[in-house]
Structure 1
Amino acid sequence: MIDDVYLKFPVEFVQFLNENQVDPAVFMQNDLPRFVRVNPKNPADKAQFLQELQQLNPEVQCSVEDLGWIKDFWAVSGEAKIVNTPSYIQGKIYGMDASSAIPVLSLKLKPDISVLDMCCAPGAKLLYLNDLLDESSSISGIDISQDRLKVTRSLLKKYNARNEIQLICHDALTWDTDLQFDRILVDAECTHEGSIKHMKKFTRQWGWETFKKRVMDTHVELERLQRGLLNKGCDLLKPGGRIVYSTCSFCRCENEDIVDFVVNSRNDMTVKVVEGEFPCKRDRSFMKFDPLISRTGGQFVAVLKKAK
């Protein structure tokens, strides 16, 4: 049943949806699953995890299902709390939206490469990179916030990530380094309106009257940041290297427009088709995930390659 709060969208929000060609039904999905990733180094048992959920969430009809389109991901009942389960406490699973795995997978990782996560905190994608790469590769993460990097360090420690991951507290836009990388992930700061959990805060916490201030009025500064991050990432990329740009926004001005601006302002970058068989919308060379089609949070994914 559609929650009636989503039928009370303000005019500014409806206009925003129309301008970005977003189906309002995206925000009317009330039975979405949540997702967990199984720690490959300390894997949880699915039957045991289900039993733990049932014991801790007796009021919820709990389920745990394999996600067929990404390895080691489970879809869990959306209302179930996972943080007090032994599997979570013991580091056997961690919460990560399935759509958030696609930017990492789109890097096309292989042995003996250098990888940079340019907006690495709070660390789930960095941990995923650690799990997918062997010891022959190097991993670095940069974030402007020392507090957020503390969270990242705690996450990496809990899940026994390698000690050699280099974490750098710095503004990525002004990071002065001679280093270059084979693969770079730019999961940029955005307005987060592709997250249903985030958008529900307008109803339950902030009030829809704050939508313009919290979303629309932030676009100019965010777009400047996003263009800068992607352009800086291209500078740090080795010739022949691959960079992935992603957001959890539905806004064209934060997604396609950012990619087009950077590519058109340089002569060394080309947009590549995002590869893979996933439940998503394809637009030009990009992938777009949303609650309606993918049953996940929103995610925009673009791949660029640097000329050799």
Structure 2
Amino acid sequence: MEEMDHAEGSVPERGEEQQEAPLPLPPAFLEFLSENGLDPAVYSTAATIPRYIRLKPGMESQIAEIEGELKCGLEKVSWLPGFYAIPPEVQIAGSKTYQQGKIYGIDAASGAAILALDVRPGDHVLDLCAAPDMLGSTGSLTGVDVAKHRLSACRTMLQKYSLGDRTRLFVADGTLFSILPVNSNLRRMEGSIGLEENGSTFSEWTSRRSWKDRQKAKKLNATGSQHLLASSEPELIYYGKHSGLVGLCKSDVLCPAVDDEACTSGYDKVLVDAECTHDGSIKHIQKFEFWGWKTLDRRVLDAERTDNLLQLQLHLLTNGFRLLNTGGSLVYSTCSMTIAQNENVVQQFLSAQPSADLQKIDLSDSWPCRSGGIPKTLRFDPTTSQTSGLFVAKFSKLPT
């Protein structure tokens, strides 16, 4: 999925004259596209794809002020509430309106994947991009990522936009993560203001880390081992005031799910925004002009890495579904345009999960997208949608 613009400006934008020229694609990447049945022509649309922004809820009355700050008009995206298109050359990171948290950058196709999840007030949601402002006065959002730097960026974004009040963020391996939403029946220690001296209960979150956590971080930094992090227990790096953790026993909250417990006490909605080769993200491919095309060989074209990605995608999808309530919904998406990372993963998953039911996304009737290679799946692409490429599939969990 196209990432939000927390790191905008780290790679120079292509100049206006450069944007008019087709993106020069190296032979190895052209071969990759050919092997996957993809048309290189989609990358020639790079100069015409708008940049998309989302307004923080409540900022609609300030559109004229935001337009003045960005020095461009905001074109409302008719099929996606709260989203606006701006010219691709406009940079938002240096603007006061961005720094004040009134807008953030996110591709419209990524917004559609979130909307497909149909988050309702009171839902317990698992993943990082599940629109926490849609949760209402109840419910929760649990974010999981094995890379702490990505999760730290997410924490910064949630705090900047005041969207993290009902959020928990765990550094953990998403294929193994097994912590369920907070159960209202858990024993709460009244009057708790913070983690007790013995570390047994949660208080209101603070950025100040305990001595134990600092020692653990030193150990991880010293070993440089991602495997050590992935194999250890999940690390909770943030929780909001109303996430339900304050006053609860730590051992109860961090207790992994057992057997079929998730079928009745799991998440109502799960978003599996799987790691992929990012070949559908035009902006991502553009960056290789700056990084060097040899970097593309390592990050996108390496056969061993691609094989590992396919296994990772299937395992993320399988574990996300395991943690889903019966009757709940799961959305799987990638910003790859290849069949292997999308339709093939979905087909393998359906073959192994008899309780998984592929659902039609009703809202898609008004979206500028096309059908995927499997009925009820969707594909966004630069030519059809004027967005980055994105594959979306939605599942429900049937009773067993």
Counterpart CA distance in 1 for 2:353 and 2:307 is: 21
Report matched runs for 1:165-244 at 5 Å. 165-176=167-178, 177-178=256-257, 179=262, 180-207=266-293, 209-217=294-302, 218-244=305-331
1:167 Cα deviation from its structure 2 partner: 1.1
1:5 Cα deviation from its structure 2 partner: 4.9
The aligned counterpart of 1:300 is: 391
Counterpart CA distance in 2 for 1:44 and 1:140 is: 31
Counterpart CA distance in 1 for 2:99 and 2:26 is: 41
Q: Percent identity?
A: 36
The aligned counterpart of 2:225 is: none
Report matched runs for 1:17-96 at 5 Å. 17-29=33-45, 30-43=47-60, 45-54=62-71, 62-96=72-106
1:94 Cα deviation from its structure 2 partner: 0.7
Letter in 1 for 2:298: K
TM-score, length basis structure 2 = 0.69
The aligned counterpart of 1:271 is: 358
Counterpart CA distance in 2 for 1:202 and 1:164 is: 37
Which structure: larger Rg?
A: 2
* SS of corresponding position for 1:103: helix
1:83 Cα deviation from its structure 2 partner: 1.4
1:66 Cα deviation from its structure 2 partner: 0.8
Letter in 2 for 1:272: Q
Counterpart CA distance in 2 for 1:82 and 1:44 is: 19
Counterpart CA distance in 2 for 1:106 and 1:260 is: 20
Which range moved further: 88-97 or 170-179?
170-179
1:212 Cα deviation from its structure 2 partner: 3.6
Counterpart CA distance in 1 for 2:275 and 2:354 is: 25
Counterpart CA distance in 1 for 2:26 and 2:334 is: 24
Counterpart CA distance in 2 for 1:112 and 1:53 is: 36
Contact 1:183–1:243 (CA<8 Å) still a contact in 2? Answer: yes
1:44 Cα deviation from its structure 2 partner: 6.3
1:113 Cα deviation from its structure 2 partner: 2.0
Counterpart CA distance in 2 for 1:5 and 1:72 is: 31
Unaligned runs of 5+ in 1: 55-61
1:3 Cα deviation from its structure 2 partner: 4.7
Alignment partner of 1:9 is 2:25: yes
CA deviation map 1:231-254 (0-9, x unaligned): 111111111111100011111111
1:67 Cα deviation from its structure 2 partner: 0.9
1:22 Cα deviation from its structure 2 partner: 2.4
2:119 to 109, 112, 116: 109
1:31 Cα deviation from its structure 2 partner: 2.1
Tell me: CA distance 1:202–1:106, structure 2 relative to 1, closer, same or farther (3 Å): same
Counterpart CA distance in 1 for 2:162 and 2:26 is: 46
Counterpart CA distance in 2 for 1:154 and 1:44 is: 25
Contact 1:274–1:301 (CA<8 Å) still a contact in 2? Answer: no
* SS of corresponding position for 2:383: coil
Counterpart CA distance in 1 for 2:124 and 2:148 is: 23
Counterpart CA distance in 1 for 2:67 and 2:391 is: 31
1:293 Cα deviation from its structure 2 partner: 1.2
Tell me: CA distance 1:64–1:157, structure 2 relative to 1, closer, same or farther (3 Å): same
Contact 2:121–2:134 (CA<8 Å) still a contact in 1? Answer: no
